[in-house]
Amino acid sequence: MLSDRLSEQLPPPPRPQGGYVPAVRHGDLVVTAGMTPRVDGALTHRGRVGEDVSVEDARSAAAIAVANALSAAVSVLEGAQLERVVHLAVYVNAAEGFEQHTAVADGASARLQELLGEAGAASRAAVGVTSLPGGACVEVVLTCGVAPA
Amino acid sequence: MLSDRLSEQLPPPPRPQGGYVPAVRHGDLVVTAGMTPRVDGALTHRGRVGEDVSVEDARSAAAIAVANALSAAVSVLEGAQLERVVHLAVYVNAAEGFEQHTAVADGASARLQELLGEAGAASRAAVGVTSLPGGACVEVVLTCGVAPA
Amino acid sequence: MLSDRLSEQLPPPPRPQGGYVPAVRHGDLVVTAGMTPRVDGALTHRGRVGEDVSVEDARSAAAIAVANALSAAVSVLEGAQLERVVHLAVYVNAAEGFEQHTAVADGASARLQELLGEAGAASRAAVGVTSLPGGACVEVVLTCGVAPA
């Protein structure tokens, strides 16, 4: 059972920072909220990648954020089975002219595949944004496919 | 009937600004186009949040935009029943270093929950972008879950 | 058969630039990775729209990117039938104050409708971002609806 093994390896589901819920399941999909690199509720990596934050640190931040997102997804499964990650969106708080979004996003993708194996191989979009909530350096959103239990 | 009450409270479905449609239903999902704060077709809030537009005004703008998005979603239901909002994406036209995306996006989330109650409690992602179509200060996209009629 | 005619008109499915897959099918949806304007693997349009890249060139770039995305979607159909495009996300590498996202995104929408006819009329979101992978001027993501074969 994928979900059972998983829950031991994941952080607790993140507490929402505003008027939203961490994840919603509808039919055969689960979509998470945007998740930032928080541990015990506190941001671990703030600032702009390529200026305040190195690409290597941003990779670590993306890995933390995606584990939070996966934890949120698992928290709404209610007996359904996580089949695979369908899409991973990675928003990088990046300076103009930054080009290494792929390297940052690979931090999240590698973590997903550590946690889920082949089921973590997702389509992915990475873009650079001006700013993120609370000054986070990266934010991720997961869309997961589920099968009924 | 959720959809019947709703239609009285919503603005008319927005007219597309380009070569797209306001919303598409496929299976048990409806996904809207990106919606800006327009009333009778005209943008109500232009500029960058944190510079030209206050956080409070941006909250109002987000509420207007999300009502347009919900109207677009309802316009393609064709007898299907809106079950809940699955995901709300909020793009904030924001200065570098802006951190209050959550406060802006809460304007949209609060409006959704006024209109839909618990069905409006969605997963949500908010990010800061450099610019938006027509100079809008905020843009939202809704993904909704529907059940066959 | 939509898919048969299509495959002759599309470029080969793009090779991923990092730890992700070009598209995933789950249930009645296919979601692609973010696709940039690449021909034979090389970016054709780099830089910021409104500064380094004209709106007209960015429209062409968006058309190239969306053909790559559609090729990725088609490559995972495995006998399922592409019914329509549900959503087209267009990220424009744009200067502050840029307002012509709609004109750029229309380049992608027009190409989709050339390739798919009415099935290419999608909901669409266009936003301006600070930077994109490899310095691309535009990136697109497609969500498509499929029916079982």
Say which CATH number the domain at B92 has: 3.30.1330.40
**Which residues of chain A make contact with C21, given a CB cutoff of 8 A?**
121-123
Question: Which H/E stretch holds residue C55?
Answer: helix C55-74
C149 pLDDT higher than 90: no
C47 pLDDT higher than 90: yes
C22–chain A nearest CA distance, Å: 6
Give the pair of three-digit tokens for residue B25: 């239903």
C74 pLDDT higher than 80: yes
Give the pair of three-digit tokens for residue B6: 């709703």
**Which residues of chain B make contact with C27, given a CB cutoff of 8 A?**
27
Query: Which pLDDT value is given to residue B1?
Result: 47
**B39 shares contact with chain C (CB less than 8 Å):** no
Best C17, C24, C141 member to test A by mutation, with max A CBs in 10 Å, is C24
Chains sharing 3 or more CB pairs under 8 A with chain A: B, C
CB within 8 Å: C94 and B130: yes
Q: Domain containing C137: what range?
A: 20-147
**Which residues of chain A make contact with C126, given a CB cutoff of 8 A?**
none
What does the pLDDT look like over C5-42, one tens digit per residue? Answer: 788 899 998 888 889 999 999 999 999 999 999 999 99
Query: What is the identity of the amino acid at B87?
Result: H
CB within 8 Å: A86 and C34: no
How much is the mean pLDDT over chain B? 94
Query: Which pLDDT value is given to residue B2?
Result: 62
C144 pLDDT higher than 80: yes
How much is the mean pLDDT over chain A? 94
d(Cα A118, Cα A128) in Å, to the nearest integer?
27
A75 pLDDT higher than 80: yes
Share of chain B above pLDDT 70, in %: 96
**B28 shares contact with chain A (CB less than 8 Å):** yes
How many separate domains does chain A show? Answer: 1
* DSSP category for residue B40: T
Q: Which residue has the tokens 């994109």?
A: C132
Is C122:B21 a contact under the CB 8 Å cutoff? yes
| Mean pLDDT within A14-25 | 93
**B80 shares contact with chain A (CB less than 8 Å):** no
| Mean pLDDT within C131-146 | 98
CB within 8 Å: A129 and B124: no
Is residue B3 one of the residues assigned to a domain?
A: no
What does the pLDDT look like over B98-140, one tens digit per residue? Answer: 999 999 999 999 999 999 999 999 999 999 999 999 999 999 9
Question: Which segments of C22-137 are extended strands (E)?
Answer: 23-26, 29-32, 38-39, 42-43, 81-93, 123-129
Is residue A14 one of the residues assigned to a domain?
A: no
Is residue B8 one of the residues assigned to a domain?
A: no
Is residue C8 one of the residues assigned to a domain?
A: no
- Counting Cβ atoms within 10 Å, is residue A65 exposed (0-12), middle (13-18) or buried (19+)? buried
- The sign one gets for the Cα dihedral A41, A82, A132, B42 is negative
**C28 shares contact with chain B (CB less than 8 Å):** yes
**B76 shares contact with chain A (CB less than 8 Å):** no
What does the pLDDT look like over B76-98, one tens digit per residue? Answer: 999 899 999 999 999 999 988 89
Give the pair of three-digit tokens for residue C137: 């001027």
Is residue A115 one of the residues assigned to a domain?
A: yes
Is residue B89 one of the residues assigned to a domain?
A: yes
C66 pLDDT higher than 70: yes
C78 pLDDT higher than 80: yes
B85–chain C nearest CA distance, Å: 16
**B32 shares contact with chain C (CB less than 8 Å):** yes
d(Cα B78, Cα B7) in Å, to the nearest integer?
13
Q: Which of residues 95-114 of C touch B (CB under 8 A)?
A: 95-103, 105-106, 109-110, 113
**C125 shares contact with chain B (CB less than 8 Å):** yes
Please choose, from the candidates A142, A140, A147, A104, the residue with its C-alpha nearest in 3D space to the C-alpha of residue A122.
A142
Is residue A2 one of the residues assigned to a domain?
A: no
Residue C61: φ, ψ to 5°: -60, -40
B106–chain C nearest CA distance, Å: 20
More confident residue, A2 or C116: C116
Give the pair of three-digit tokens for residue C139: 């990136």
Closest partner CB to C91 (pick from A28, A87, A127): A127
Is residue B101 one of the residues assigned to a domain?
A: yes
**C68 shares contact with chain A (CB less than 8 Å):** no
Query: Which pLDDT value is given to residue B7?
Result: 80
**Which residues of chain C make contact with B135, given a CB cutoff of 8 A?**
97, 99
What is the Cα Rg of chain A in Å? 14
| Mean pLDDT within A98-114 | 97
Our CA angle for A43, A25, A112, nearest 5°, is 50
Closest partner CB to B125 (pick from A19, A33, A130): A33
CB within 8 Å: C129 and B134: no
**A94 shares contact with chain C (CB less than 8 Å):** yes
A1 pLDDT higher than 80: no
**C88 shares contact with chain A (CB less than 8 Å):** no
